[in-house]
Amino acid sequence: METAKIQELEHKLGVHFHNRDLLLEALTHRSYLNEEPSWHINHNERLEFLGDAVLELVVTEYLFKKYNDPEGILTSWRAALVNSSMLSEISKKIELNEYVLLSYGEKKDVGRARQYILANAFEALIGAVYLDNGYEETKKLVERLILPEFPRIIEQKLYKDAKSLFQEEAQEKMNATPTYKVLDQRGPDHSKTFKVGVYLDEDLVGIGFGPSKQEAQQKAAEDALTKKRWVKVS
């Protein structure tokens, strides 16, 4: 990767790397090594493992010091701040997709799989910043990029899972309880994709897809919340 591009990302992050190999490692997806075996950098999965723990610590410390709410509430808030959907959003804001090193095949896939790749790369970046700059600089990065999302999480109730939230809204607004039905399932047993619909009475109000019935139900609830304009789910 060109030095100018590395500097560009450093500027977006507000972080200067002393060891830029750590930054390159954070950006290297496993698939890239399959096509570029001579690449001198490891893939980012170990840094992702570290970054996940550091990110959780920073967010936990922030919530613990700022709020006196019970553990269960703090846990829900933390989960909403560090889940893959939120990290994927943050990654898009800093255009991380322009810097992650992927195989040709992975570059063509811009769907759900890419969101996970970006979220994982962001966690790897957190790990790289921690190793290169220490905890305090990592904390500042999280404070700049992630913690400003917290008011939106509270306002839009994103700390509640979509199924629970949709059920609350449906019962309050329509005195109805949602039901879920599998509309379709495709693929071999080890790699199925489920299509699930959520209904209010006989009306199909949302559709979701996922590798399990549970995840497809969550996506269907998100779709229904958005279509009903009850809550915006990111």
pLDDT tens figures, 62-97: 999 999 999 988 988 998 899 888 999 999 999 999
56 is catalytic: no
Return d(Cα 135, Cα 151) in angstroms, integer: 24
Within 10 Å of residue 218's Cβ, how many Cβ atoms? 22
Residues of the chain with CATH 1.10.1520.10: 3-154
In terms of DSSP bridges, do strands 179-186 and 203-210 run parallel, antiparallel, or are they unpaired? unpaired
CATH architecture of 162-228: 2-Layer Sandwich (3.30)
Could you read off the pLDDT of 21-51 as tens digits, one per residue?
A: 999 999 999 999 989 989 999 999 999 999 9
Confidence of residue 192 (pLDDT cuts 50, 70, 90): confident
- Per-residue tokens: 109: 């896939």
Q: Encode pLDDT of 119-161 as tens digits.
A: 999 999 999 999 999 999 999 999 999 999 999 998 877 787 8
Query: Looking at residues 212-219, what average pLDDT do you find?
Result: 91
- Give the rounded percent of residues in the chain with a pLDDT score beyond 70: 97
Reported confidence tier of residue 216, pLDDT bands at 50, 70, 90: very high
| Ranges of CATH 3.30.160.20 domains, the chain | 162-228
The catalytic residue among 25, 48, 52, 169 is 52
Query: Is CATH 1.20.1260.10 correct for 3-154?
Result: no
Helices (H), the chain: 3-13, 20-27, 30-35, 45-66, 71-82, 84-93, 104-108, 112-133, 135-145, 150-155, 162-174, 213-228
Please state, rounded to an integer, the average pLDDT across all residues of the chain.
92
Give DSSP secondary structure letters for 56-69.
HHHHHHHHHHH---
Residue 46 makes CB contacts below 8 A (sequence gap 6+) with 127
Q: Reduced to 3 states, what is the DSSP secondary structure of residue 194?
A: strand
Angle in degrees, CA 133, 127, 89, rounded to 5: 115
Does the pLDDT of residue 223 top 80, yes or no?
yes
Q: Which of 123, 169, 222, 223 is catalytic?
A: 123
123 is catalytic: yes
